[in-house]
Amino acid sequence: MFERLQERIRTFSSGDRFLFFVFAALLGIASLTCLYALEQSFLVEIPAYGGTLTEGEVGSPRFINPLLAISDADRDLSTLTYAGLMGLSGYGTLIPVLAESYAISADGKTYTFSMRKDAKFSDGTPVTAADVAFTVRKAQDFALKSPEYASWSGVRVETADQHTVRFILTKPYTPFLGLTTLGIIPVHLWEKISNEQFPFSNLETNPVGAGPFKIAGISRDASGLIESVSLVGNPYYVLGRPYLDGIRFNFYSRTEDLANALASGAIESAYDVSTARALASSYARVFGVFWNPNQNQVYASAEVRKALSLAIDRDAIVNTVLGGYATAIMGPVPPGGTVIQTPVPKPEKPTVAAAQVLQSAGWSYDDSAHMWKNANAKQTLDTITIRTSNIPELKNVASAVKSDWERLGIVVTIELYEPGDLSQNVIRPRKYEALLYGMVIGRDQDLYAFWDSQERNDPGLNIALYANKTVDTLLEEVRGSADQKTRISDLQKIEDIIASEYPAAFLYAPDFTYAVPDDLKGVQLPQIIAPADRFATVASWYRSTDAVWPFLVPKK
């Protein structure tokens, strides 16, 4: 047939032969194009290995160790290099990581974990129950001064065998499962290091963990502070090698420097930096001005607390000061859950509404003395001193609150403290009359430490010195109940009661924003407790893709 075709072509004139070959070539190209398009219509795009990410952050890490991490930079790198029995999904639920499965006893006091037998640290050594027990016992060692001490105090840990670990609680505590996200450190590297040497070990900046990444290099400035950290994928990560080959962190001393680096392209991603291409999620935090009646008895008066709360224009704070990246609130439970938020009042004139509350309770304003007086109670309200952290957001919020209260005829002073100084010398000894502060609420919305009457003194976190027996009972029930409907119902009652008593002028719950490059896929933000939660799905982030037939799609 081919020979006959050649003979036929030879009979063509030179012009006909030229046209024949042109049309034959076009037909071939068209056929190949159609076949390619048909193939592409059936192919599936999947993540591929490769690519890196350059992240920026304010601060500098010191302890890349889940037992000593105190800064956001510490926690970020600890989250990336260590893994716990459980981890966080992109939906905010807990998923097994080093654990294969777990069981909870009928009385809610015993948690038994079966560990994955193929789990390894980044140095290739197996992760065993002994590593888990060692990590927890170090957290419980008061001499180590771990930030995790309070969470694990009173929990008994036992190893049944090499891959089974058991925790025994003194009483049911529903949020306990969340504690098992604590990163596990290897006993074979840490067991001979004393508590005094712990913070100074080279393992603090050259960690060996079981997380999705491991440290590849560290750069320091002339003073020894870490300027950048390079991470590469951990091939032993039990949930599978990350798609990204690596992540580089550049650290900055100021928010302005971080924003400039993002704008110039020196970094590709950063959190809490306003940009049009930022992802957003809700922070499980509530900010407000908390009263201390022990410093000034006037705050023991419900009408004073209510009036001062109503005088604040929360919408103006959210939209003007915070750029819209927040939600106005009136109660202690952060938005984003199942609790119905207490409605935020929106009077046309907040100052007038606040004055009416005071006047209806027997208060009157003395123009000559520039103060509110209550002759019956022999009380006066003329000045307020707000104490807060010396950080831009809180400075600006404090200024807005000051303006609102001064419209009510009250002289307001703002005192700023560095965060560590505020905690040590103001909050712990309860030396404030009005404290502008934020409460970080756990994922299980356990409010016990913030509002139970037994937590009014240091180290408790009840900074409003609030006491209500009904709320105390509800807080205990929320902690101990495994029934979700009961917990939601109790939380709703707590929200309603506390909001109605105005122990604080609740202001807003901030949004978490995370700027990422357009081609970074797979990023899924859960509700954020700490900024490190943004890395919940980091092993699944990718910048490269492949096209394969559906039956060749790998399971990850």
Q: Place domain 282-512 in its CATH homologous superfamily.
A: Dipeptide-binding Protein; Domain 3 (3.10.105.10)
Q: From residue 340, give the alpha-carbon distance in Å to each of 100, 299, 364, 400, 483.
A: 36, 27, 36, 27, 19
Written as six digits, the tokens of 63 are 């302890």
Alpha carbons within 13 angstroms on the beta-carbon side of residue 65 total 24
pLDDT at 44: 73
* Average pLDDT of span 296-322: 96
- Sorted by where each begins, the domain ranges of the chain are 2-42, 52-277+516-544, 282-512
Tell me whether residue 334 is exposed, middle or buried, using C-beta atoms within 10 angstroms of its C-beta: 0 to 12, 13 to 18, 19 or more: buried
The band of 459, judged by pLDDT with boundaries at 50, 70 and 90, is confident
**Three-state DSSP class for 447?**
coil
CATH no. for 52-277+516-544? 3.40.190.10
Q: From residue 273, give the alpha-carbon distance in Å to each of 223, 309, 513.
A: 27, 29, 7
Cβ–Cβ under 8 Å, residues 506 and 285? no
Residue 3 has pLDDT above 80, yes or no: no
Return the closest-CA partner of residue 384 out of 414, 416, 363: 414
What is the value of pTM for the model shown? Answer: 0.84
The band of 2, judged by pLDDT with boundaries at 50, 70 and 90, is low
Helix (H) or strand (E) holding 253: none
412/270 Cα distance (integer angstroms)? 35
Q: From residue 330, give the alpha-carbon distance in Å to each of 150, 305, 307, 499.
A: 29, 13, 13, 6
pLDDT in tens, 477-514: 999 888 889 999 999 999 999 999 999 999 999 999 99
pLDDT in tens, 264-305: 999 999 999 877 678 999 899 999 999 999 999 999 999 999
- Going by the DSSP 8-state scheme, the letter that residue 514 receives in this structure is E
What single-letter amino acid sits at 504?
A
Residue 556 has pLDDT above 60, yes or no: no
Asked which of 22-26, 425-429, 503-507 is least confident by mean pLDDT, the reply is 22-26
Would you list the DSSP string of 115-143? EPTT-B-TTSPBP-HHHHHHHHHHHT-GG
The band of 550, judged by pLDDT with boundaries at 50, 70 and 90, is low
pLDDT at 540: 96
Rg (CA), the chain: 30
The strand ranges marked E within 418-531 are 434-440, 504-515
Return the closest-CA partner of residue 315 out of 285, 346, 287: 346
* Average pLDDT of span 401-429: 96
